[in-house]
């Protein structure tokens, strides 16, 4: 049965300063002050045009299970830095925050709040490490996987990276994120058991080596799996040995029993050249239905190039460069205080920085995605205060928050709120869709993006604007804190 559940106690997977600060807030009488934090990112990895958010299901799981065991408390006590009052607070810890999130699989853009947490500062800041770790990791892999899937132009991409992942979750949750990003299957068996992601695989070189020769190894395989016969043809020599032996075995072992071959896999050498020759040999032998699968250090750039050169490849196995997002292995999400409440009023906060692009957007916010009613394409995202409503029946003026003279008046548009409430006062009120639903949703959402945004390099910069109200508040705060 498919039932994601992580039974580990990860409560102390937290940067130690969250604990020293929590203890400090309590001691200074600030523990229950209501604070708002935004999780957002500043740059799309690999210079791409958009990212895909993923990991929400695991974040929910973590928040639902957040508690300090006696063992945790004893450990913290042993650090001799925390007050008894604080340790007591942890003993009786009950998660009380409100959380909003953009659903998994949504294309997202820099500076938009992906997750908003509202609650007592002592709690809202405590969960920083896990919010970031969870969403950063899976968003990184979903985003990378989608690039590779788009490069393959409809050919299935298989996630083969477990052995080179950065830890067990890197492999398991990486497979999940890769599937959300559009991969067709994974080699990681446990990912099927946990999430229902199809697990696939055939043989390694060691199978071929275990037999006296390649022909015998192929024969044994064909007899064992006649209805699912896919042969790895590069153990010795693809064109002189692998393909001829495969064809012989297809003819002698499969055809007489009424089976057709599933395919061959090439895992080394030049896959453009070898796939063309292999295709020709298979076609001439009457196996034009036999698929060719290529693997070996692939990524979106190599796939794009070999396909442009006419490689005859039907599907791609992609390993280390997907599961670690090798070309840019960090999704730089941050978690910043954006407001506090005082006597029930929301007071926006700003974080100044020497780097202008690191300045935060203050306040409790919502993100609207604006679609053209005629084309159903996304035109822009608009970040507003949470209580601003958009009246679709009226024209809407949007403007660039830096180059403010660049503006545009929208008519005939729809506005969709991206942020959905998932926790209400500590109680989860959201049910995660299945990974299949998330994957379908993701692929459909990407169809709403203009081709110009989808480019691998130098994509068009999608507009993420601020409402006039939000923009004015930000300017005021900037002036207040300027040095």
Residues 260-279 that bind a second copy (CB under 8 A): 268-269
Written as six digits, the tokens of 76 are 């913290």
Assess contact for 121 and 27: CB atoms under 8 A.
no
Q: How far is the CB of 146 from a second copy (least distance, A)?
A: 17
52 three-class SS: strand
6: left (phi over 0), alpha (psi -120 to 50) or beta: beta
Place of tokens 């229902």: 196
Rounded to whole angstroms, how far apart are CA atoms 75 and 326?
37
The one among 193, 248, 251, 455 contacting a second copy by CB under 8 A = 193
Binding footprint of a second copy, residue count (CB under 8 A): 103
Place of tokens 């997750």: 115
Instruction: Using CB atoms within 10 Å of the CB of residue 266, give its burial: 0 to 12 exposed, 13 to 18 middle, 19+ buried.
Output: buried
Q: How far is the CB of 416 from a second copy (least distance, A)?
A: 29
Taking alpha carbons only, the member of 375, 440, 383, 449 closest to residue 412 is: 375
Site membership for a second copy, residue 196 (CB under 8 A) = no
Q: How far is the CB of 27 from a second copy (least distance, A)?
A: 5
* Sites for a second copy among residues 36-55 (CB under 8 A): 37
Site membership for a second copy, residue 15 (CB under 8 A) = yes
Of 233-241, 277-285, 418-426, 427-435, which segment contacts a second copy by CB under 8 A? 233-241
Of 99-107, 127-135, 282-290, 419-427, which segment contacts a second copy by CB under 8 A? 127-135
Q: How far is the CB of 370 from a second copy (least distance, A)?
A: 31
Place of tokens 């853009």: 109
Of 186-194, 280-288, 437-445, 464-472, which segment contacts a second copy by CB under 8 A? 186-194
Nearer to a second copy, 72 or 388 (CB): 72
Site membership for a second copy, residue 17 (CB under 8 A) = yes
The one among 70, 94, 154, 240 contacting a second copy by CB under 8 A = 240
Of 75-83, 281-289, 305-313, 455-463, which segment contacts a second copy by CB under 8 A? 75-83
Site membership for a second copy, residue 205 (CB under 8 A) = yes
Assess contact for 165 and 323: CB atoms under 8 A.
yes
Place of tokens 């070996």: 296
Of 144-152, 332-340, 408-416, 430-438, which segment contacts a second copy by CB under 8 A? 332-340
Nearer to a second copy, 228 or 440 (CB): 228
Sheet (strand 365-372) strand order: 413-417, 365-372, 378-385, 463-466
Rounded to whole angstroms, how far apart are CA atoms 383 and 398?
10
Cα 289 from chain centre:
34
* Sites for a second copy among residues 438-477 (CB under 8 A): none
Of 27-35, 385-393, 410-418, 451-459, which segment contacts a second copy by CB under 8 A? 27-35
Written as six digits, the tokens of 236 are 């010795």
Q: How far is the CB of 21 from a second copy (least distance, A)?
A: 5
Site membership for a second copy, residue 307 (CB under 8 A) = no
* Sites for a second copy among residues 356-415 (CB under 8 A): 358
Q: How far is the CB of 33 from a second copy (least distance, A)?
A: 7
Site membership for a second copy, residue 241 (CB under 8 A) = yes
Rounded to whole angstroms, how far apart are CA atoms 396 and 373?
14
Q: How far is the CB of 39 from a second copy (least distance, A)?
A: 10
3-state SS, 304-328, equals HHHHHCCCCCCEEEECHHHHCCCCC
Nearer to a second copy, 215 or 340 (CB): 340
Q: How far is the CB of 409 from a second copy (least distance, A)?
A: 36
- Angstrom distances, CA of residue 50 to CA of 42, 379, 438: 11, 14, 17
Of 14-22, 88-96, 426-434, 449-457, which segment contacts a second copy by CB under 8 A? 14-22
- Antiparallel, parallel or unpaired: β 157-159 and 315-318: parallel
The one among 106, 111, 146, 162 contacting a second copy by CB under 8 A = 162
- Angstrom distances, CA of residue 84 to CA of 11, 31, 236: 19, 15, 68
Site membership for a second copy, residue 355 (CB under 8 A) = yes
């Amino acid at each position: 049965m498919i039932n994601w559940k992580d039974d580990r106690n990860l409560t102390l997977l937290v940067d130690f300063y969250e604990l020293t600060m929590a203890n400090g807030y309590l001691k200074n009488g600030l523990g229950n002050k209501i604070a708002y934090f935004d999780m957002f990112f500043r740059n799309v990895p690999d210079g791409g045009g958009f990212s895909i958010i993923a990991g929400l299901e695991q974040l929910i799981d973590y928040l639902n299970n957040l508690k300090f065991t006696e063992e945790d408390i004893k450990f913290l006590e042993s650090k001799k830095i925390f007050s008894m009052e604080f340790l007591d607070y942890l003993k009786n810890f009950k998660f009380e925050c409100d959380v909003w999130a953009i659903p998994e699989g949504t294309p997202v853009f820099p500076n938009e709040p992906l997750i908003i947490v509202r609650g007592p500062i002592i709690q809202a800041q405590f969960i920083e490490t896990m919010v970031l770790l969870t969403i950063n990791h899976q968003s990184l892999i979903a985003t990378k996987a989608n690039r590779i899937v788009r490069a393959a132009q409809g050919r299935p991409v298989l996630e083969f990276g477990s052995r080179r992942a950065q830890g067990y979750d890197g492999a398991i949750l990486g497979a999940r994120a890769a599937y959300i990003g559009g991969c067709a299957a994974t080699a990681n068996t446990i990912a099927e058991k946990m999430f229902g992601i199809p697990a696939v695989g055939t043989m390694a070189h060691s199978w071929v080596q275990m037999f006296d020769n390649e022909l015998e190894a192929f024969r044994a395989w064909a007899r064992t799996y006649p209805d699912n016969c896919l042969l790895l043809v590069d153990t010795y020599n693809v064109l002189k040995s692998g393909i001829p032996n495969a064809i012989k075995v297809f003819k002698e072992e499969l055809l007489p029993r009424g089976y057709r071959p599933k395919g061959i896999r090439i895992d080394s050498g030049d896959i453009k050249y070898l796939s063309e020759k292999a295709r020709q040999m298979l076609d001439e032998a009457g196996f034009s239905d036999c698929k060719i699968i290529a693997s070996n250090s692939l990524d979106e750039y190599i796939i794009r190039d070999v396909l442009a050169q006419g490689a005859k490849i039907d599907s791609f196995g992609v390993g280390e460069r997907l599961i670690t997002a090798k070309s840019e292995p960090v999704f730089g999400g941050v978690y910043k205080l954006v407001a506090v409440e005082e006597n029930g009023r929301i007071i926006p906060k700003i974080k100044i920085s020497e780097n202008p692009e690191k300045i935060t957007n203050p306040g409790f916010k919502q993100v609207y995605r604006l679609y053209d009613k005629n084309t159903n394409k996304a035109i822009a995202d608009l970040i507003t205060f949470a209580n601003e409503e958009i009246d679709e029946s009226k024209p809407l003026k949007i403007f660039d928050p830096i180059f403010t003279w660049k503006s545009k008046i929208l008519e005939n548009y729809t506005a969709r709120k991206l942020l959905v409430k998932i926790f209400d006062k500590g109680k989860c009120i959201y049910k995660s869709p299945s990974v299949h639903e998330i994957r379908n949703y993701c692929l459909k959402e990407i169809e709403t993006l203009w081709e110009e945004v989808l480019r691998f390099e130098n994509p068009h910069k999608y507009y993420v604007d601020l409402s006039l109200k939000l923009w004015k508040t930000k300017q005021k705060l900037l002036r207040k804190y300027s040095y």
